[in-house]
Chain A
Amino acid sequence: GAGVSQSPSNKVTEKGKDVELRCDPISGHTALYWYRQRLGQGLEFLIYFQGNSAPDKSGLPSDRFSAERTGESVSTLTIQRTQQEDSAVYLCASTISGILPPQYFGPGTRLTVL
């Protein structure tokens, strides 16, 4: 498809379990971002990948969060030992180059931690 895709669209998990979220950016986009949106809040930056450079992890809220990206394609966001406060919509966005907005967003993954 032409847009950013994410999977799964919904994920319900039990507290303490690990989850993995996937993002397929737009083909040719070198920059990829992960955000999360908690209920009633704005989007919160998590991590940024630009080409083969070291990722900017400054937004990750704890060491339970990690992300990987294979080249300039798929990225996975992993949350270990999930907590209830991790419940949010996790959004992925991509852009041609990191300093050239706009970012194009995927539909998000709604994560619910019980």
Chain B
Amino acid sequence: DQQVKQNSPSLSVQEGRISILNCDYTNSMFDYFLWYKKYPAEGPTFLISISSIKDKNEDGRFTVFLNKSAKHLSLHIVPSQPGDSAVYFCAASARYGGSQGNLIFGKGTKLSVKP
């Protein structure tokens, strides 16, 4: 039973356009959400996070939106660049729910940004 779902295994976007990566979760105890980027043969790299008390967090070209009522979050990348091509993982944590801060990951979305 997947608690964190990324329903799009892949996404292709033109350079300069917006990339929108989506993530849904089922566990209402999750209170912290993160996005990681992963290049082949490397470990995941932390990108941006959001606490459940917020609905938006912005860092440069990256913005994460959280809709708690829909149990949905999204990552927007504007403008997209070819170097953004990677697999993006959504992760969630129930920091105070007894799970010791373990991250529950989605299966990832492979983003390809075409020049």
- Using a CB–CB cutoff of 8 Å, the interface residues on chain A facing chain B are 4, 6, 31, 33, 35, 40-45, 48, 50, 56, 59, 91, 93, 95, 97-108
Contact = CB atoms under 8 A, between A and B. Distances in A.
A102 B49 contact: yes
A97 B108 CA distance: 25
Given A101-B32, A107-B43, A42 B4 contact: yes
Contacts of B25: none
The contact size tier of chain B is: 20 to 34
Given A95-B101, A101-B93, A107-B42, 8 more contacts: A31-B101, A33-B102, A42-B89, A48-B101, A59-B102, A100-B95, A103-B103, A108-B43
Contact of A45 (B6, B32, B96, B102): B102
Contact of B46 (A40, A44, A50, A102): A102
**Main SS at interface, chain A:** strand
Contacts of B89: 42-43
A108 B43 CA distance: 6
B34 interface: yes
